Amino acid sequence: MWFLGFVILLIKLAAVLGALVLLAVYLVWIERRLLAKFETRLGPNRAGWHGALQPFADGVKILLKEDLIPEGADRFIFMMAPAVVATSALLLFVVVPFGEGFTLWGRRVPMLFTDLNVGLLYVVAISTVAVYGVVLAGWSSNSLYSLLGGIRGAAQMISYELSLGLSLAPVVMMAGSFSLVDIVDAQAAYPFILVQPVGFLIFLVSTMAEAHRLPFDIPEAENELMGGYHTEYSGMRFGLFFVGEYVNMLVLGSLAAVFFLGGWRGPLLPGVVWFVLKVLIVPFLLIWSRAALPRPRYDQLMAFGWKCLIPVALVNIIATGGLMLLFG
Amino acid sequence: MTRNKPNIWKYSLSAVKGIYDAYAVSMINFLRKPVTEEYPEYKRPLPERSRGRIILTRDPDGDERCVACYLCSAVCPTSCISMESAEREEDGRRFAIWFRINFARCIYCGQCEEACPTLAIQLTPDYEFCQYEVLDFVYEKEDLLVDHGGRHPDYNFYRHAGVTEKGDKGAHPDEEEPVNLKSNMP
Decide if A292 and B23 are in contact by the 8 Å CB cutoff: yes
CA distance A316 to chain B (A): 18
A-interface mutation test, from B11, B12, B21, B26, most A Cβ less than 10 A away: B26
Within a 13 Å sphere around the CA of A110, how many CA atoms are in the beta-carbon half? 10
What is the predicted pLDDT for the residue at B37?
87
Average pLDDT, chain B: 85
Mean pLDDT of B48-53: 89
In chain B, the residue whose alpha carbon lies closest to the alpha carbon of A35 is B30
Average pLDDT (B150-175) is 71
d(C-alpha A148, C-alpha A90), whole Å: 26
Q: Return the pLDDT at A106.
A: 65
Contact B26 A291 (CB under 8 A): yes
∠ CA A261-A265-A271 to the nearest 5 degrees? 120
- List the single best residue of A39, A201, A304 to mutate versus B (max B Cβ within 10 A): A39
Nearest-Cα distance to chain A for B33, in Å, is: 7
Binary contact (B22, A41; C-beta < 8 A): no
Looking at CA atoms only, how far is residue B1 from chain A in angstroms? Answer: 27
Q: Is A48 helix (H, G, I), strand (E, B) or coil?
A: coil
The CA distance from B136 to the nearest CA of chain A, in Å, is 29
Put simply, whether B2 touches A (Cβ < 8 Å) is no
Average pLDDT of every residue of chain A: 83
Please name the member of A41, A291, A293 whose beta carbon is closest to the beta carbon of B34: A41
Say whether pLDDT at B164 is over 60. no
Percent of chain B with pLDDT over 90: 28
Is the pLDDT at B177 greater than 80? The verdict is: no
pLDDT score of B165 more than 60: no
Give pLDDT < 50 ranges for chain A. none
- In the 3-class helix/strand/coil scheme, how is A198-233 assigned residue by residue? HHHHHHHHHHHHHCCCCCCCHHHCHHHHCCHHHCCC
Residues on chain B touching A34 (C-beta within 8 angstroms):
30
* Residues B36, A42: C-beta atoms closer than 8 Å: yes
Of A38, A41, A289, the CB nearest to B36: A41
What ranges do the domains of chain A cover? 68-327
Residue B76: pLDDT over 90: yes
Distances (CA, A) of A82 to A79, A208, A236, A242, A303: 7, 20, 9, 9, 29
What single-letter DSSP state applies at residue A50?
A: G
> Which among B29, B35, B36 is the nearest to A38, CB-wise?
B29
Q: What is the CATH number that goes with domain B54-161?
A: 3.30.70.3270
Q: Give the mean pLDDT of B89-102.
A: 87
Q: Which residue has the higher pLDDT, B167 or A33?
A: A33
Distance (Å, whole) CA B167 – CA A260: 95
- B23 and A288 in contact by Cβ < 8 A? yes
- pLDDT interval class at B171 (50, 70, 90): low
pLDDT attached to residue B100 = 92
Between chains, do B23 and A42 touch, taking CB under 8 Å as contact?
A: no
Which 37-56 residues of chain B touch chain A by CB within 8 A? Answer: 38
Cβ count near A46 (within 10 Å): 12
pLDDT tier, B101 (very low <50, low <70, confident <90, very high otherwise): very high
Please determine, for residue B169, whether its predicted confidence score (pLDDT) is greater than 70: no
Question: What is the pLDDT averaged over residues B112-139?
Answer: 90
CA distance A38 to chain B (A): 4
At residue B102, the pLDDT reads: 92
The Cα–Cα gap between A113 and B178 comes to 104
Please determine, for residue B1, whether its predicted confidence score (pLDDT) is greater than 60.
no
Q: In angstroms, rounded to a whole number, what is the distance separating the alpha carbons of residues B88 and B169? A: 28
The full set of domain ranges for chain B reads: 54-161
Residue of A314 and B169 predicted with greater confidence = A314
In chain A, what residues touch B25 (CB-CB under 8 Å)? 292
Distance CA B12, CA B114 (A): 61
